Amino acid sequence: MAINKNGTGYTFGFAIVMVVVVGAALAVTAMSLKPLQQANAADKKMMDILGAIKVDSQRDNAKALFAEYVTSRVAINASGTQVSVKQGDVNATDATDPFNIDIKKDYRSHKPAKGDLAWGNADDLNFPVFECQKEGETYYVVPMVGSGLWGPIWGYVAMEGDMQTIYGAKFDHKTETPGLGAEIKEDFFTVKFEGKTLEEVGPTYFSVLKGGAVTNEHSVDGITGGTITSKGVDEMLNRTMGIYLKYFNNEQRAQR
Amino acid sequence: MSTDTNTAVETKRESLFSKKNRKLLKDPLDDSNPITVQVLGICSALAITVQLQQAVIMSLSVLFVMIGGNVIISLLRNLVPDRIRIIVQLVVVASLVIIVDQVLKAFQPDISEKLSVFVGLIITNCIIMGRLEAFALGNKPGPSLLDAIGNAMGYAWILLVVSIVREIFGSGAISLPGMGQVKFLPSSWFISEGGFYENNNLMILPPMALITVGLIIWIQRSRNQALIEEN
């Protein structure tokens, strides 16, 4: 019996078999490559954290340098209380390791309402802080994530030991406009944050201003043509710092 | 004796390097080049030719997808229902591209980051869908394989030439995957170090890729007058 190649039954059968075969092949590929990809992502994260404290690293030495500079990894909750602390080697499979807190995922699932700088619905989240030692000084690296014009933006800001002064910053983005919003990852922008301080009372601790405005020690000039991305950086900084400053204040009280 | 059997096989199954098959390999390099003559796949050619290493990885990715797609579609050509043949081609190309993307993310994370969306955009690269529809659906796997190699190489050499030109004049360097960027101009030549030379930043921007491709088309058509269209 000849099969009618253009019959509806054959077409459906072909489509179903094709989808199953292709689906299985892709699933096998994705699962077998996942460990390598995760290791790459972890290396990149270490490079970014080291970048915030101005330590240059490559993929092959990121792990060693991270172990050398980052003394402890702390997780805090939304009210600024320390929940857990880890030292020593990063364990990629340990979900309680603050290094493995996926703040991008948390941000997606707990997206704050527009303009909600207090991040009212973040109560059940944990936030990582990376305590670093470099040339005898202590630095606190704070990861942050927010929204730009087209997609997510994120960054790492290093605070000095006084927990008020910004030591270094590193920003990155997924799909911001090249030449405009995408410039937030360039050094000329991040270098402006260095040495600036946070205001002690919120909700606006720091501002990224529009269009050549006069800046003071609590603000930097935004990117021309990248207003919405600059605003995204501004909002991300304030929202995240609102939470971390509670922790920093607790720490300082404890040190006194 | 052995030569006899060889010729017998050749006459029966047409040699892999017969005149017709050599044409399949050679034509896309020049006379029917996908980029300079058919003007397909221009988008990726302009976007990822800033550095040689990106162009190399992109070319290899396209080569893999092209060969895989052409051979698979050619093997399936008598099974694919006519009404959904474009969907079938799309699914085959898309899954090959996803495999490439995953492999790059695992083994070449930095280059994968730089190529960003352009690996995914291989799916919509007209060269690939065009060859599947125009060639693989009507030919045996052997010639389809040669056609795939020819077209992918035709795409690749333009990419490589454009990226070499742009990288030399734009960054004064050449980069290869696994070797990083090799700067061959002494740093004392640069104005910032008191010299006389400055990299041409325009070369890094996409417009110069278009102009470089335009120059290649110009050279190609002045050598091969048959390509010039009459109005």
**CA dist list (Å): A162 to A70, B210, B229:** 17, 52, 72
pLDDT digit string (tens) for B23-39?
888 888 888 888 888 88
Residue A154: pLDDT over 70: yes
Q: How far apart are CA A95 and CA A101, in angstroms?
A: 7
Supply the range of the domain harboring residue A217. Answer: 40-255
Axis-axis angle for helices B85-107, B52-76 (nearest 10): 140
Buried b (16+ CB within 10 A) or exposed e, A56-71: ebeeeebbebbeebbe
Q: Which residues, 6+ apart, have CB-to-CB distance to A25 below 8 Å?
A: B95, B99
The partner residues of A155 in beta bridges, in order of sequence, read: A144, A171
Mapped onto helix, strand or coil, the DSSP state of residue A156 is strand
Contact B87 A15 (CB under 8 A): yes
Is residue A7, in this structure, part of any structural domain at all? no
Q: Chain B interface residues facing chain A, Cβ-Cβ under 8 Å?
A: 79-84, 87-88, 91-92, 95, 98-99, 102-103, 105-107, 109-110, 117
pLDDT digit string (tens) for B142-194?
999 999 999 999 999 999 999 999 988 888 888 887 777 788 777 777 777 77
Please give the order of strands across the beta sheet that includes A137-147.
Answer: A82-86, A70-77, A126-134, A137-147, A152-159, A166-173
Contacts of A30 in chain B (CB under 8 A): 102
Is residue A30, in this structure, part of any structural domain at all? no
Is residue A20, in this structure, part of any structural domain at all? no
Peptide bond into A152 cis (omega under 30): no
The nearest CA of chain A is from the CA of B13 a distance in Å of 28
Question: In a mutagenesis test of the B interface, which of A3, A5, A154, A186 is the best target, namely the one with the most B β-carbons within 10 Å?
Answer: A5
Please give the tally of structural domains in chain A: 1
Is residue A64, in this structure, part of any structural domain at all? yes
Is residue A137, in this structure, part of any structural domain at all? yes
Comparing CA positions, the residue from A162, A146, A114, A211 lying closest to residue A220 is A211
Question: In a mutagenesis test of the B interface, which of A4, A20, A37, A58 is the best target, namely the one with the most B β-carbons within 10 Å?
Answer: A37
Mapped onto helix, strand or coil, the DSSP state of residue A148 is coil
Q: Which residue has the tokens 């703040």?
A: A103
Q: Determine the Cα angle at B99 with ends B37 and A37, to 5°.
A: 125
pLDDT digit string (tens) for A10-40?
999 999 999 999 999 999 999 999 999 988 8
Beta strands in chain A (DSSP E): 70-77, 82-86, 126-134, 137-147, 152-159, 166-173, 207-209, 219-221
Task: State which residue of chain B sits closest to A6, comparing Cα positions.
Answer: B81
The nearest CA of chain A is from the CA of B106 a distance in Å of 5
What confidence score (pLDDT) does residue B108 get?
86
Full-model pTM? 0.78
Q: Where are the domains of chain B?
A: 19-27+40-217
pLDDT digit string (tens) for B1-58?
444 444 444 445 566 667 888 888 888 888 888 888 888 888 888 888 888 888 999 9
Q: Which residue has the higher pLDDT, B30 or B217?
A: B217
Comparing CA positions, the residue from B137, B138, B142 lying closest to residue B10 is B142
Is residue A88, in this structure, part of any structural domain at all? yes
Q: How far apart are CA A167 and CA A172, in angstroms?
A: 17
What confidence score (pLDDT) does residue B10 get?
44
Is residue A188, in this structure, part of any structural domain at all? yes
Q: What is the DSSP string of A175-218?
A: SPPTTTGGGGGSHHHHGGGTT-B--SSSS-S-EEESTTPPP-TT
Encoded tokens for B73: 């579609």
Do the interacting molecules here have an ipTM over 0.90? Answer: no
